[in-house]
Amino acid sequence: MTREPRPADRGLPAWKNRGAFQGKIRQWFWDEKLNNVPGAVFLALLTGLLGWLTVDNGVVAGLLVIAACVAIPVVYAIVAYPRFGIALLLGVVYLLFYIMRLGINFPLGTLIDGMLALLVLGFFISQKKRPDWAIYRNPVSVVILVWLLYNLLQVANPWAESRMAWLYTVRTTGTIVLIYFIFLYQVDSFRYLRFLIGYWLALATVGALYAYRQEYFGFAGTEFENMVADPLMASLLFIDGHWRKYSVFSDPVAFSYNMVIAFFVCLSLLTARGAFSRKVIIGGVGLLCVSSMFFAGTRGAYVLIPAGLVLFTLLRFQKKLIPFAVAAGFLLGVMIFIPTSNPTLYRFQTAFKPSIDASYSVRAANQKRIQPYLQSHPFGGGLGATGAWGVRFAPHSYLAGFPPDSGFMRTAAELGWVGLMLQCLMIFLILKTGIDNYYKIRNDKLKTCCLAMTLVVFVLCVGNFPQEAFVQFPANILFYLAAAIIQVTYRLDTRLDFTANSLPPANKTRQK
């Protein structure tokens, strides 16, 4: 039975008269307003003003003026061209903390909220023009919507000590969920899917290279000053005579986790048929990411590599992979049990021997201590009750002094065991959908993309036990991107009306 093409296919051009519209904008803005003597005078004055502000007030003032000049076109572009907005959002969240370390005194978190709001606005405008709500009729979308509503309803949690803590926390755990629905709608062609994955790996390459720069050439002046100015930060980053690296991310944990998921994306893409030169580049990026990960000294990230490889081997099970799996297991065993005086290797070994890890014993004691509270608070103590926001907004509450040290433990403490069960159900359905779709998809390239995103979700799930993997930028965005791509790949594989630029010619038509 062949599938009928949808009457409003979103793979077709959005505006047939886009070229004419852009021509009118150019004529009005450049030919009529600026391409004359008054326009030249205006541009000269603007350039002089920009130079004076930069000299008199520093580079930040100049950057702010430039930002003001481009703000209106960018806002329009995010709403009118959501694909551009998605790419811009990914770039901003990836480089967010590096930009902050430049000394720019600007609420970049609010900027991300604004970009998300604009993307939501563009989403509803696109749905008005080309409605397609059917793509959300699946278990994953339903449970993610329930998860969003549950986070929003936490504002009325009777056990919450502070509503301000909820307001600050819901931005990275609740409203950010909306990006999933945007991804699922806007990623509607193989060309754009391929661009997003390539763009993701390009950003990961930047992060890996900057970590190498920190490792072999030292931290930048402002980075080192910020570290030594905070004794607590210095104690966390300087271990065994070596500074842990964090690249362009917020901390070593976020850096190492993002390098691991980029490695598994590369590993999955290597399984697709393609040019040898392309595989060399992808393999080089993967090795660059996984090697730079060790500079972070994050024990939780060390466990993710063998965990992800186990799932990869199971999904790609072939007889020819057995020798490689055995060799990898033997090498891992040697690295875990070999006697060593090397501090880096010893830290790697403690990740697989929690009994000799003092920090793990402290975490286990904290989790045991919090159990009576969790049993008596099914909806938790409210979003933001633990960690920095809890200390800031409710310093005398029971949870303010509790260090969760785990994403799942934070969920249990703040959202209760009801929230924890809902989060686990969401992750389970995403992984189940990914595994099911991987075996259903027939196109080789789409199959590898689905495999990559399934591994990303699985690795972040494992990493959420020892650390917090789902709340930090950019992993919280990439998690929902992976969840959306898992379904997009199957949707593209079953679509009949492929365009010439969507997939290779042999896969233009399908039959169910």
Two structure tokens written together for 7: 């009457």
- Residue 41 has a pLDDT of 72
What are the distances in angstroms from CA 199 to CA 177, 226, 249, 277? 21, 30, 17, 18
SS3 per-residue string spanning 25-76: HHHHHHHHCCCCHHHHHHHHHHHHHHHHHHHHHCHHHHHHHHHHHHHHHHHH
What share of the chain has pLDDT > 90, as a percent? 35
Q: Give the C-alpha separation, 49 to 69, whole Å.
A: 13
Neighbours of 23 (CB within 10 A): 12
pLDDT for 419: 93
Residue whose token pair is 């697989």: 352
| pLDDT for residue 229 | 77
Whole-angstrom distance between the N-terminal and C-terminal Cα of the chain?
6
Of 418, 411, 425, the residue nearest 378 (C-alpha) = 418
- Measured CA to CA, the distance from residue 59 to residue 8 in angstroms comes to 48
Residue 510 has pLDDT above 60, yes or no: no
pLDDT, residue 1, reads 42
pLDDT reading at 73 higher than 90: no
Non-local (6+) Cβ contacts of 232 within 8 A are none
Higher pLDDT pick, 20 / 57: 57
Half-sphere exposure of 384 (CA within 13 A, CB side): 25
Rounded to 5 degrees, φ, ψ at 360 are -65, -40
Contacts (Cβ under 8 Å, ≥6 apart) of 322:
none
Q: Using 50, 70 and 90 to split pLDDT, how confident is the model at 446?
A: very high
Question: Which H or E element spans position 239?
Answer: strand 238-239
Comparing CA positions, the residue from 192, 368, 353, 208 lying closest to residue 288 is 208
Cα(114)–Cα(119) distance, integer angstroms: 9
Task: Give the 3-state secondary structure of residue 211.
Answer: helix
Query: How many whole angstroms from its chain centre is CA 419?
Result: 22
Tens of pLDDT along 190-227? Answer: 999 999 999 999 999 999 999 999 988 888 877 887 77
Distances in Å between the alpha carbon of 264 and those of 289, 312, 406, 424, 488?
A: 10, 9, 22, 22, 19
Q: According to the model, what pLDDT value does residue 58 have?
A: 65
Mean pLDDT for 423-434 is 96
pLDDT the model gives residue 512: 38
CA distance linking residue 309 with residue 317, whole number of Å: 11
More confident residue, 273 or 363: 273
Q: Does residue 252 have a cis bond before it (omega within 30 degrees)?
A: no
In terms of Cα–Cα distance, which of 81, 87, 84 is closest to 122? 81
Give dist(CA 171, CA 291) in Å, integer. Answer: 32
Grade residue 35 by pLDDT with cuts at 50, 70 and 90: low
User: Angle, nearest 10°, between helix axes 82-101 and 475-494?
Assistant: 160
Whether the pLDDT of residue 317 is over 60: the answer is yes
Q: Compute φ and ψ for 238, nearest 5 degrees.
A: -105, 100
pLDDT exceeding 70 applies to what percent of the chain?
82
Distances (CA, A) of 240 to 38, 243, 244, 346: 64, 8, 10, 10
Q: Which residue has the higher pLDDT, 61 or 133?
A: 133
* Mean local confidence (pLDDT), 257-263: 95
Domain ranges for the chain, please list them.
62-131, 135-507
Task: Give 175-210 as a 3 state SS string.
Answer: HHHHHHHHHHHHCCCHHHHHHHHHHHHHHHHHHHHH
How far apart are the C-alpha atoms of 360 and 405, rounded to whole Å? 10
Locus of tokens 């020819």: 320
pLDDT of residue 197: 95
Q: How many residues does the chain have?
A: 512
The number of CA neighbours under 13 Å toward the Cβ of 118 is 24
Angstrom distance (rounded) from CA 429 to CA 436: 10
Average pLDDT of span 411-424: 92
Q: How many helices (H) and strands (E) does the chain have?
A: 21, 2
Task: State yes or no: pLDDT of 16 exceeds 90.
Answer: no
pLDDT band with cut points at 50, 70 and 90 for residue 354: low
pLDDT at 445 over 80: yes
Least confident of 141-155, 304-318, 425-439: 304-318
Mean pLDDT over residues 367-395, rounded? 84
Q: What does pLDDT average to over the chain?
A: 82
Average pLDDT over residues 179-187: 94
Give the pLDDT score at 231. 78
Name the least confident of 187-201, 254-268, 464-478.
464-478
What's residue 39's pLDDT?
Answer: 66
- 362 in helix, strand or coil? helix
d(CA 488, CA 490) in angstroms, rounded, equals 5
Give the integer Cα–Cα distance in Å for 212 and 206: 10
3-state secondary structure 402-420: CCCCCHHHHHHHHHHHHHH
pTM of structure: 0.82
Among 305-314, 319-328, 363-372, name the one with the lowest average pLDDT.
Answer: 319-328
pLDDT at 168 over 60: yes
- Give pLDDT, residue 298: 84
Angle at 474 between CA 194 and CA 68, to 5 degrees: 90
Q: Which two tokens stand for residue 142?
A: 């339903």
